[in-house]
Chains A and B, each alone.
Chain A
Amino acid sequence: MARHVTRPGRRWLSAAVAVSGALTLLAGCSSEDESTGAATSISLVASFSGEGESPAQQMAQAYETETGVHIEVRNVPPDSYDQVVRTELQGGSGADIIGATPGALFPTSVGPLVAAGMLAPVTDPAVAKGILPGSEHLYTYDGKVYAAPTSIVATGLVVNDQALRSAGVTSVPTTFEGLLDSCESTTGDTALVGIAGSNPSSTAVLVAELAANHVYAEDRDWNQKRAAGEVTFADSKGWQQVFEVIEDMVSAGCFQDGAAGIGFDQLITDLVSGSTATVPIPSLAAASIKRAAPDVEVSIHAFPPAEGSTGLLVAGPSFGYAINAAANPSHQEAAQKFASWLADPANAQIVAEAEGGVPLSVVNGDASKVPDYYVPVADAIVAGDMMYLPSYDWDNPEVAAAMGTGVQSLMTGQGTGKEALQAMDAAWQSG
């Protein structure tokens, strides 16, 4: 049988042609400018689930239009975000820019990522300047800033104004006692306060808002004292009041029927449809509703404090962009430029509009840039009279999980407020 014999020289030539062809193709797809070596395309990973363009994609588009640098955005659903990002970073395949929550609470918060050596410091001093006073420690480790904050998100009561009126309540109560009265006097099938009882993250938001009024309004350094072991949750009068208040709300029938079994998606559906008038939730939900259902009148309010006491609005950036320390140098450089772009006050409006938040530049600045549905909390934000989500200071997510589960057990009669606080202390000790 005749065999076709390839000579070694020709074989090598064929291989060389194939390799050079592949290299030419790869050069065409390169993410770097050949002449300057600067990155022309970088990657970004952010937490998002929903329809349409994510806030990160909108920001990336605006950035590309202005600078010509393409940002490849990858949206990861919130419930798998920590896991996906950690696996990628550990495997060395993480995105150049990583969406991270401030502080140390979650596995992908700035603190744990810095501790694991995964983040490069953000070098532009403008980024440090843009961080709201009092929250510098949530982004700064060993004197270096590791993430650029985006916009201010208020965690209060998101109100469906039409549903509130149809429930016979003319305006959002300004005191907790007024809220309880309204719960008892609502008419029709509308529940005054909605809660996703089956989702500990949702119930934890309610606790955080109440804790702002009962604990942190009086003592902003409470977390530092807890870290120093000077106070405990179970022995704190303010924290005890938080769970007493929730019991009062359950007794007054504030929550919707079957609240203990409601999931987060159902909660939002109920708020949009008007079967629930108010929901304690971050204001980003209001922005999403405004986009998805423009006819629904929504507004954001601080959770009403007890009569005669001063409340405290929970508000601050809930997200920041950090730079992957393992990204190649040209991509890190491009990521630094993106961080600088975020910190530029001229771009604050773009960032806020994309996220549905309030521009950072509004604090001690121009109140006219506050979106209309934020008006009830605008004064507090402009005056800087607010506090970030208190749990951002905690470095053990089990404490927040125990907090959320505590509300659940209170609603189902499985436990008491005291037991919930003891569980939070136990979780704190285990961390």
Chain B
Amino acid sequence: MVRIRFGYWWWALPAVIAMAAAHYGATAVGGFFAFTDWKGLGDFTFVGLDNFRRVFADPKMLTALVNTLVLAAGFVVGTNGIGLLLALGLNRGVRSRYLLRTLLFMPVVLSPLAVSYLWRFIFDFHGPLNSLLESIGREDLRRIWLADPTFSLWVVMFVMVWQGAGIAVVVYLAGLTAVSIEVEEAAVLDGAGTWSRFRHIVLPALRPAITISLTLTIIQGLRAFDQIFALTGGGPAGATETMATQVYKQAFTLGNFGFGAAMALVLTLVILAFTIIQQSALRRREN
């Protein structure tokens, strides 16, 4: 019988402490400042829940919260929908699937800022998109895409989905390896159609992959910052402002560190709540 020696577990203690200090310690300190009026310099005083009251009373913050949820929802639906379709298409059969997989994954490894600046150039009023519309005689469709209050949020969402879909493709491709070819072939022989096979064979096998992909994309969608910052900066006039961009502006541009920390805490709780709801909903369905 192999005897497990007591003491192995604490060998990991230094790493656990370092990680806790770096992750949770820093978050706790940030959380502490959410209850102060600290401006990022000098002294501060405790203001209780004032910062949180301000978060929920300010109409700008409400707009930012709504935008955050809309962007996250669009991002989750877009990346997972497109990711799943592409994964199904590239799973078997296509000769160039390995090359296509690489190409589809490529945007994921690129810097979100670099990608966004590229798209910003494309969506510029004098950029290629409007030039293309003009060249095909659809001048009426030309617009200031990134400063149009109706379209700017959708443009940001499009860029986010374009860059994020690759990760969903990879997760779903990994999940599709669990689908048995024999079972699918048996289903074909039994006369099951494409939809029926997808619904009753592929989808159940993909559930773990769906759980992972949804969790990742919800978190990514709710905390989106880089693309918004590079494309619109939250404009025009707050039309694409999200909680993450507001946290940055309040804490680092306007010097309201305490208020920014309160917003960051609220954002963290929103992400936590959505992740828990989504996890428990999917787990219930799996059971």
Determine if chain A interacts with chain B: yes
Q: Which of chain A's residues 112-128 have a Cβ closer than 8 Å to chain B?
A: 112-113, 115-118
Q: Which A residues from 207 to 264 make CB contacts under 8 A with B? A: 257-258, 260-262
Across-interface contacts of B236 in A (CB, < 8 A): 197-198, 260-261, 408-409, 411-412, 414
Q: Among B124, B237, B249, B252, point to the contact of A408 (Cβ < 8 A).
A: B237
Those of B1-48 within 8 Å (CB) of chain A: 39-43
- Which residue from B144, B249, B254 sits with its C-beta under 8 Å from A261? B144
Q: Quick check: A260 and B41 within 8 Å, CB to CB?
A: no
Contact between B124 and A107 (Cβ–Cβ < 8 Å)?
no
Nearest CB in chain A: distance from B217 CB, A: 28
Chain A residues, CB < 8 A from B146:
198, 261
The chain B residue sitting closest to A89, CB to CB, is B41
| B237:A415 contact, CB within 8 angstroms | yes
* Interchain CA distance A168-B88 in the complex, whole Å: 61
Complex CA gap A117/B149 in Å reads 43
A107 pairs with B40, CB closer than 8 A: yes
> Beyond A86-B255, A409-B237, is A116–B147 a contact (Cβ under 8 Å)?
no
Closest to B252 in A: A83
Q: With contacts A112-B255, A398-B254 known, is A258 near B42, CB below 8 A?
A: no
Q: Any chain B CB within 8 A of the CB of A430? A: yes
Query: A257 contacts which of B43, B125, B232, B252 (Cβ < 8 Å)?
Result: B125
**Residues of chain A within 8 A of B256, CB atoms compared:** 398
C-alpha gap A101/B126 in the complex (Å): 35
Give the dominant DSSP class at B's interface: loop
Q: Does B208 contact A (CB under 8 A)?
A: no
Determine if A113 and B41 form an interchain contact, defined as CB atoms under 8 angstroms apart: yes
- Nearest-CB residue, chain A, relative to B250: A398
Q: Is the CB of B41 within 8 A of A107?
A: yes
**When each residue 142-168 of chain B gets 1 if its CB lies under 8 Å from chain A and 0 otherwise, what string results?**
001111110000000000000000000
A41 vs chain B, min Cβ distance (A): 26
Contact at A412–B147, with CB atoms within 8 Å?
yes
Closest residue on chain B to residue A83 by CB atoms: B252
Is A324 interfacial (CB 8 A cutoff)?
Answer: no
Chain B residues within 8 Å of chain A by Cβ, number: 28
Q: What residues of chain B lie closer than 8 Å to A130, measured between beta carbons?
A: none
Q: B233 to chain A: which residues have CB within 8 Å?
A: 198-199
Q: Which of A295-344 contact B (CB under 8 A)?
A: none
A90-B237 contact, Cβ under 8 Å, with A83-B252, A258-B125: no
Within the complex, what minimum Cβ distance (angstroms) separates A109 from chain B?
10
Bound Cα distance A125, B43 (Å): 30
- A412 to B147 alpha-carbon distance, docked (Å): 7
**Would you call A261 and B252 a contact (CB within 8 A)?**
no
Q: Would you give the 0/1 interface string for A91-123, flagging 1 where the beta carbon is closer than 8 Å to chain B?
A: 000000000000000110000110111100000
Closest chain B residue to A415 by CB distance?
B237
Name B182-210 residues within 8 Å CB distance of A: none
- Closest chain-A Cβ to B50's Cβ sits at a distance in Å of 11
Query: A405 contacts B232, CB within 8 Å?
Result: no
Q: Is A32 an interface residue (CB 8 A)?
A: no
Q: Report how far A116 CA is from B37 CA in the complex, Å.
A: 13
A397 interface hit (Cβ, 8 Å): yes
Chain A residue contacts of B107, Cβ below 8 A? none
Contact across chains for B144 and A116 when beta carbons are under 8 A apart: no
Choose one: B145, B235, B239, B255; the contact of A107 (CB below 8 Å).
B255
Given A89-B41, A414-B149, CB of A405 within 8 Å of CB of B252: no
Residues from chain A with a CB closer than 8 A to the CB of B232 are: 198
Q: Which residues of A contact B253 (CB under 8 A)?
A: 82-83, 397, 401
Contacts of A197 in B (CB 8 A): 147, 236
For residue A257, which residues in chain B have a CB less than 8 angstroms away from its CB?
A: 125-126
Is A8 part of the binding interface, using a Cβ–Cβ cutoff of 8 Å? no
Q: Tell me if B125 and A86 are in contact (CB < 8 A).
A: no
A406 to B233: give the CA distance in the assembly, Å: 15
Whole-angstrom CA separation of A266 from B147 in the bound complex = 15
| Given A107-B40, A258-B126, A405:B255 Cβ within 8 A | no
A160 to B249, CA, bound (A): 34
Pick from A118, A261, A415: contact of B124, CB under 8 Å: A261
A-to-B contact residues, CB < 8 Å: 82-83, 86-87, 89-90, 106-107, 112-113, 115-118, 197-200, 257-258, 260-262, 266, 397-398, 401, 405-406, 408-409, 411-415, 430
Interface residues of B (CB under 8 A from A): 39-43, 54, 124-126, 144-149, 232-233, 235-239, 249, 252-256
Known: A90-B42, A106-B255, A414-B236. 19 other contacts (CB 8 A): A82-B252, A82-B255, A89-B41, A107-B39, A107-B41, A107-B255, A112-B39, A113-B41, A198-B146, A198-B147, A260-B144, A260-B147, A260-B236, A261-B144, A261-B147, A397-B254, A401-B253, A405-B237, A414-B239
Can you show 12 pairs from A to B with CB atoms below 8 A apart? A82-B253, A116-B39, A116-B43, A257-B126, A260-B147, A261-B145, A261-B147, A266-B124, A401-B253, A408-B147, A412-B149, A414-B239
6 smallest CB-CB distances across A and B, nearest first, come from A258-B125, A116-B42, A107-B255, A261-B147, A409-B237, A260-B147
